[in-house]
């Protein structure tokens, strides 16, 4: 009887370990060695990301319904940035804590939105858009599992890896462009 219980417990542990590996592992092998320098395009992305983060997290600062002035400043900055890039920005207003707050929408039509069955996929802001019937996507490197500053007070601009962000953003821009092409 003890032998059967030990076999059963071993099988359960094996299934749990396989599940953990499946949820946190990546296919193939991880890259090792030095990365090549950023391309000119990636360097431009790097600099723009740093500028946007400095503006939103630095100059503008905390922005939410308890800080309506900075919330409005962030909205104006993001809206102008999107419009300067050529997007038509739609504003969706709704009440929030006694204020009228706005979601900004810039659409890059395409085909293809992404799997949603990964642990943590519902932890980000896009989930609420799904619930309201809007297509949205989250791209993650599983930050809560790899980045100790995720959503805590130490999550400040100087903690970010702008070189890594530039590489990912450049790749996402290429994928988005390909998906948006007819």
State residue 137's pLDDT score. 72
State residue 17's pLDDT score. 72
> Which residues have CB under 8 Å from 163's CB, separation 6+?
35, 38, 46
State residue 21's pLDDT score. 66
CA distance 54 to 162: 12
Question: 82 with 89: CB under 8 angstroms?
Answer: yes
State residue 19's pLDDT score. 67
State residue 115's pLDDT score. 52
Provide the percentage of residues in the chain whose pLDDT is more than 90.
33
Both tokens assigned to 144: 């809560």
Residues of the chain with pLDDT under 50: 112, 114
Domain ranges of the chain: 36-180
Question: 121 with 113: CB under 8 angstroms?
Answer: no
State residue 149's pLDDT score. 87
State residue 37's pLDDT score. 92
State residue 111's pLDDT score. 55
- Residue identified by tokens 């896009």 is 126
State residue 16's pLDDT score. 77
What Å distances lie between residue 32 and 25, 29, 82, 145, CA to CA? 16, 9, 36, 20
**Rg of the chain, C-alpha, whole Å:** 21
Strands 89-96 and 99-106: antiparallel
> Which residues have CB under 8 Å from 79's CB, separation 6+?
89, 91, 104
* pTM for this prediction: 0.59
Angle at 141 between CA 173 and CA 108, to 5 degrees: 25
């Amino acid at each position: 009887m003890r032998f059967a219980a030990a076999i059963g417990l071993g099988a359960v542990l094996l299934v749990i370990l396989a599940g953990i590996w499946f949820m946190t592992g990546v296919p193939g092998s991880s890259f090792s060695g030095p990365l090549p320098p950023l391309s000119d395009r990636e360097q431009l992305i790097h600099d723009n990301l740093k500028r946007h983060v400095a503006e939103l997290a630095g100059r503008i600062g905390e922005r939410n319904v308890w800080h309506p002035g900075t919330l409005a400043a962030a909205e104006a900055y993001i809206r102008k940035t999107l419009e300067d890039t050529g997007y038509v920005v739609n504003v969706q207003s709704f009440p929030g804590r006694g204020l009228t707050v706005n979601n900004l929408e810039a659409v890059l039509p395409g085909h293809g939105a992404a799997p949603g069955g990964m642990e943590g996929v519902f932890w980000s802001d896009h989930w609420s858009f799904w619930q309201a019937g809007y297509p949205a996507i989250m791209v993650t490197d599983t930050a809560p599992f790899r980045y100790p500053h995720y959503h805590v007070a130490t999550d400040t601009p100087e903690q970010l890896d702008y070189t890594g962000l530039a590489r990912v953003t450049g790749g996402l821009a290429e994928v988005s462009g390909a998906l948006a092409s007819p």
